[in-house]
Chain A
Amino acid sequence: MEILVVDDNKEICELIENILLSEGYDVESCCNPLEFSSIIKINKPKLIITDLLMSGYDGRTLTKEIRGNPETQHIKIIMMSAHPDAKKLSEIAGVDDFLTKPFEIDDLVSKVAFLMKK
C-alpha cells in the first residue's frame, strides 16, 4: 500500500480511492478515523490524504502522531478541508500539502504525483 486515505465520509474515501486507482496507485482508505492507529501499526504508506475536521479524531491529531513517531515521521501528508481557514491551520500542523474541498481532480492528481516522486 502506497497511499492511505483517511476521511470520516465514506463517499469521499471511495471517490479519492477511485481517482487514484485510475491513476494506477496502490490505495486503501479508512473511513473510521478511530481505526487509523491500528492500521498504521501494520502498514506504513508513503502518503496519507486526510481531512482537517473529522468526528472524534481530526487531521491535526493524526498529523501530530505521524510526525511524533520516528517510524512514521517520513510519511507525506496531504490535508483536505472545506473549512475556510483550513489552509493556514494545516500549514501550522505541519503537513506537506493542502487541498480545498471541493477540489479539482487534476489538482489532487498533480499534488499526489509530486509527493510520490520524492
Chain B
Amino acid sequence: MDNIGLLSLFQNKENVLENVLQKTPFGFSLINEDYVFEFANEAWLKIVQKRKEEVFGKKIFDIFPETEEYLLSIFENVKNTREPFYAPEHNIKLKRQGFVEDVYFNFIYQPIYSESGALQYFATVVLEVTDLVSTKNKIKADEERLRLATESSQTATWDLNIRTSEVIHSPYLSKIFGYEEHEKLSHVEMQNHISEQDRFEIVGKAFETAIKTGVYQYEARLIDKNGVEKWIATTGKIFFDEQGEPNRMVGVMQDVTQRKTNEILLQQSHHQLNTAMDASKLGRFDMDFETQEKYNFSPQFLEILGYDSATEQMSSEVFEKHIHQDFVAQRITALQEAKKTGDLFYQTKMILRDGTEKWIEIYGRLLTPDDGQKPYVSGTIRDITEHKIYEEKINDSEKKYRFLADSMPQIVWIGEKDGRLTYFNKATMNYSGKKYNEFLEGDGWLDIVHPDEKSENVRLWAKSVRTKKPFFFEHRFRNKNGAYRWFLSRAFPELDEFGTVKKWVGTSTDIDDMKRQEKQKNDFIKMANHELKTPVTTIKGYVQLLKKMRGDSEDQFLVNSLNTIENQVNKLNSLIGDLLDISRMESGKLPLKIRDFSLVKLVTETIEDIKASEESHQIKFELKHTGDVEVYADKDRITQVLNNLLTNAIKYSPAANVVNVDLFVDKKCAIVTVEDFGIGMEKDELKKIFKRFYRVSGDDEETFPGFGIGLFIVKDIMERHNGKIWVQSEKNKGSKFYFSLPMTTDLKK
C-alpha cells in the first residue's frame, strides 16, 4: 500500500478507519476541547479499565479527577504550543487476572486541528511499555551491579564521545584524579592531569594506535588535584560508526601506583643485583631441573668463557664442551647431587676457544616460581682462576714455610690471640717423642715443661697474652728419653693495624749446652778465685809480716819493694774479685746485703783508703749538704763503686794531680760525683764505657791496664740499687762521673 492509497483510505472510508482504530493494539481516545471523551478504542478502555458507557460523553476530569492537576496544564500547553506531549513510561498499577501489577505506558497527547485551524480534539495514544521498562530496569540493575563491581575493584569506567569530546565517567574516576566522587571531569581536565612527559609520549601515542587498531591501552603518570603523582592504567575499545569512522570509546581506568612503585623498586633492586653481579663478576644462567639443560646465559657468563656477549650466543652443549676432561666425572657427580638436593655446586677447569685454561665455580639453587611455572635452577658462574692461582701459590709458600719450620732444629710454635697453641713444628715431636695431637689437646705443651718451671711458665705466658708484650722464658723440656734440657723460649705477637694480636710466633731454642758451659765457666771462675786467692793470701801475709818485722829497716830498697809487692797483691786480689763478681752477676747470684748507713762516712773512709795507696793525686772531698746523708744499700758494693770511680779517675789522669769528689742531695736522691782532669772521652765512647770489656784508649793508643769490666760491674750494682750512673766528659779535659742513690726515707716506704 502506497501513501496515496492510505490517504484516500483516511478520507473516504471513515468507518474503516474507525474499525482499524478499534482493533489496534495501542489505546486511542479523542477528547474534545471541552475535555469530553468522544472516542475511545477497546485497547484504551482496557488500559484505563473503563467501559464505553462510563466514558463517552463524559469529561475526563470527572472520570479521572486525580489527573486534573497534572493533565490540565499539559493540555493547555499542548493547545498553545500545538506541540504533542509525550509522557513516557508512566507507571500505573493495574489489576490484571486478579493481580495488581506495575504497568508502564507511554502516553502521547496530540492536538488535532480542524481545517480552519481551531483545536478540534486531543488525541491520546497509549502504548503499553511494561516489557520494555522491565528490560530497561534490568539493564539498569545490571549496570549498577557492574558499577558496584568496578568501583569495588577500584576500576573506573568512562565513555568518551570522540567527536564531541564529551565524557561520561564513574565516580571512582573522580577519586583517581583527586576529586570528590560527585565532581565530574571533562576530557580536557583529564588530559591536563596527565604528567607532561607522558601526555604525548604515552597517552597521545596510545590514542593514535587505538584509532588504527581499535584497542586503547596505556600506563601513564598523572598529577592529581592534590599534586600527588599517581600511575594509571587504561584499557579501552573504540566503536566505529556505519562509515567506519571512530565515534565512541569506552574503557576502564585503574590506579596502579602501588603496583608501579613495586615494579620500579623491583627494577631498582634488579638493577642493584645486576650491578652487584657485574661488580662481583658473577655470570648468571638458568637450568632446567629435569633435563639439566642450561639456558639464559647472562652476558657476564659469556664473557667469562671468552665469548663476545654482544654478538655471540651459547648453548648448553657448547658450554659442556668447554669443560676440562679431568673434571667431567666430578661435574656429573655434582649434577646428580643437584637432582637430589636442588643445590648445584662444583668447580672445574675450562678450556676456552683460544686454548687458555680457566677455573670456574658454578653455584645454583632450585627455585619454584610463584606463578606455578616449572621449577628451575637459578645459577651463577664465577671466574676463580686468580683465586686458584693464589691458592696454589699460598699452598706452595705454606709448604715452603712448613718445610722450613720442620727442617729447623729449633722448636717453632704458633699461638692464637687467646694464648692457645695451635701449631708445632716437627722438631717439637722429634724432641718430645709425642704425637702432634697430644700437643694440641689439653695441657699438651705444659706436660713436657719441668715441674719446677710450670707455674712460672703459665704465669708469664698469661701475662704476655694479656699485655701483648713479647714472651721470654728459660725452662726445661722433657725429651723422649725422659731427660730434661734447658730451652730459651721467645714469642712475639703479630699485630694487625688495630693493634690486635693476630698470631703469636714462638721459638724454643735448646740452650742446655750453653747453660752447662756457662755453669762450667762459673764453676771454674769460682774455683779459680779460690785457688788464686790462696797464694795471694800467702804472699800478702808474708809481705805484711816482713814489713812488720823489717819495716823500720834502713834498707829503703827493701821497704819500697815490700810496699810495691803489697800494692800489687792488693790489685791482683781486686781483679780476681771482679772476675768472680762478673760471673756471679751473669748468673744472677750477686747478692746485696742491704742496710742503712751514712754515705758521708762511706765516702770519707773510701777516700782515706785510696789515699793510703795512691799518693800521686790529691783527692778533694766537698760535702754540699748540711747534715748526714743516709742511704739504704749494700755498703760493700757502694764502696766498690766509689773505689772503682776513684781508681779510674787517678788512672786516666796521669798528668793531673787532683780528683774532686762532691756529695749533694737532689730530689730525695744522694748524688756523688768524681771529677778528674785527665784524658777524657769522645762522645761516641761515652755510650760504650759501661759495656763489658771496654777500655778507654790513650792518645798514643796505649791501653790502660785492667780487664775493662769495672764500670760494667759498677753500672750493674747501681741498677740493682734503683740508682743511676752517668758521665760528662770532654776529650783531653777530663771526665765527671755521677752516681745517685735513693735516700733512706724513700726506699723504706
Number of A-B contacts (CB under 8 A): 53
Cross-chain contact B530 with A53 (CB below 8 angstroms): yes
Tell me whether A105 and B545 are in contact in the complex, defined as CB-CB below 8 angstroms, given that A84-B584, A85-B591 are known contacts: yes
Tell me whether A11 and B584 are in contact in the complex, defined as CB-CB below 8 angstroms, given that A18-B545, A53-B530, A105-B548 are known contacts: no
Cross-chain contact B545 with A82 (CB below 8 angstroms): no
Task: Among B529, B542, B591, point to the contact of A82 (Cβ < 8 A).
Answer: B529
Does B536 sit at the interface, judged by CB under 8 A?
yes
Q: Provide the bound-state CA to CA distance between A102 and B534, in Å.
A: 7
Q: Provide the bound-state CA to CA distance between A82 and B580, in Å.
A: 11
Does A64 sit at the interface, judged by CB under 8 A?
no
Tell me whether A103 and B541 are in contact in the complex, defined as CB-CB below 8 angstroms, given that A12-B534, A83-B530, A84-B580 are known contacts: yes
Does B544 sit at the interface, judged by CB under 8 A?
yes
Q: Provide the bound-state CA to CA distance between A116 and B535, in Å.
A: 27
Residue of A nearest to B541 (CB): A15
Interface set, chain A 16-30, CB cutoff 8 A to B: 16, 18-19, 22
A99 to chain B, nearest CB (A): 10
CB neighbours (8 Å) of B580 from chain A are: 84
CB neighbours (8 Å) of A85 from chain B are: 591
Does B540 sit at the interface, judged by CB under 8 A?
yes
Does A61 sit at the interface, judged by CB under 8 A?
no
B634 to chain A, nearest CB (A): 13
B653 to chain A, nearest CB (A): 29
Q: Provide the bound-state CA to CA distance between A79 and B506, in Å.
A: 50
B640 to chain A, nearest CB (A): 12
Q: Provide the bound-state CA to CA distance between A96 and B541, in Å.
A: 22
Cross-chain contact A102 with B533 (CB below 8 angstroms): yes
Does A74 sit at the interface, judged by CB under 8 A?
no
CB neighbours (8 Å) of B541 from chain A are: 12, 15-16, 19, 102-103, 105
Does A104 sit at the interface, judged by CB under 8 A?
yes
Cross-chain contact B544 with A105 (CB below 8 angstroms): yes
Residue of A nearest to B542 (CB): A15
CB neighbours (8 Å) of A106 from chain B are: 544
Cross-chain contact B545 with A101 (CB below 8 angstroms): no
Q: Provide the bound-state CA to CA distance between A101 and B573, in Å.
A: 9
Residue of B nearest to A18 (CB): B545
Q: Provide the bound-state CA to CA distance between A22 and B591, in Å.
A: 38
Does B569 sit at the interface, judged by CB under 8 A?
yes
Cross-chain contact A102 with B569 (CB below 8 angstroms): yes
Task: Among B533, B544, B569, B584, point to the contact of A101 (Cβ < 8 A).
Answer: B533
Cross-chain contact A103 with B545 (CB below 8 angstroms): no
Digitize A48-82: 1 where CB-to-B-CB distance is under 8 Å, 0 elsewhere.
00000100000000000000000000000000001
Interface set, chain B 511-546, CB cutoff 8 A to A: 529-530, 533-542, 544-545
Q: Provide the bound-state CA to CA distance between A15 and B538, in Å.
A: 7
Residue of B nearest to A16 (CB): B541
CB neighbours (8 Å) of B569 from chain A are: 102
CB neighbours (8 Å) of B542 from chain A are: 15
Q: Provide the bound-state CA to CA distance between A12 and B537, in Å.
A: 8
Q: Provide the bound-state CA to CA distance between A44 and B530, in Å.
A: 30
A92 to chain B, nearest CB (A): 14
Q: Provide the bound-state CA to CA distance between A83 and B589, in Å.
A: 13
Residue of B nearest to A81 (CB): B530
CB neighbours (8 Å) of B544 from chain A are: 104-106
A45 to chain B, nearest CB (A): 21
Does A9 sit at the interface, judged by CB under 8 A?
yes
CB neighbours (8 Å) of B533 from chain A are: 82, 101-102
Does B549 sit at the interface, judged by CB under 8 A?
yes
Which one of A12, A19, A22, A84 has the greatest number of beta carbons of chain B within 10 Å?
A84
Digitize B544-588: 1 where CB-to-A-CB distance is under 8 Å, 0 elsewhere.
110011000000000000000000010001000000100010000
CB neighbours (8 Å) of B549 from chain A are: 22
CB neighbours (8 Å) of B537 from chain A are: 12, 15, 82, 101-103
CB neighbours (8 Å) of A82 from chain B are: 529-530, 533-534, 537
Q: Provide the bound-state CA to CA distance between A9 and B535, in Å.
A: 9
B704 to chain A, nearest CB (A): 25
Q: Provide the bound-state CA to CA distance between A27 and B535, in Å.
A: 22
Q: Provide the bound-state CA to CA distance between A25 and B584, in Å.
A: 39
CB neighbours (8 Å) of A15 from chain B are: 537-538, 541-542, 545
Chain A residues engaging chain B, CB cutoff 8 angstroms: 9, 11-12, 15-16, 18-19, 22, 53, 82-85, 101-106
Between-chain CB contacts (< 8 Å), 28 pairs: A9-B534, A9-B538, A11-B534, A11-B538, A12-B534, A15-B537, A15-B538, A15-B541, A15-B542, A19-B541, A53-B530, A82-B529, A82-B530, A82-B537, A83-B530, A84-B529, A84-B580, A84-B584, A85-B591, A101-B534, A101-B536, A101-B537, A102-B536, A102-B540, A103-B540, A105-B541, A105-B545, A105-B548
4 closest A-B pairs by beta carbon, nearest first, are A82-B533, A102-B537, A105-B544, A15-B541
Apart from A12-B541, A15-B538: 5 A-B pairs, beta carbons within 8 A:
A22-B545, A22-B549, A53-B530, A82-B530, A106-B544
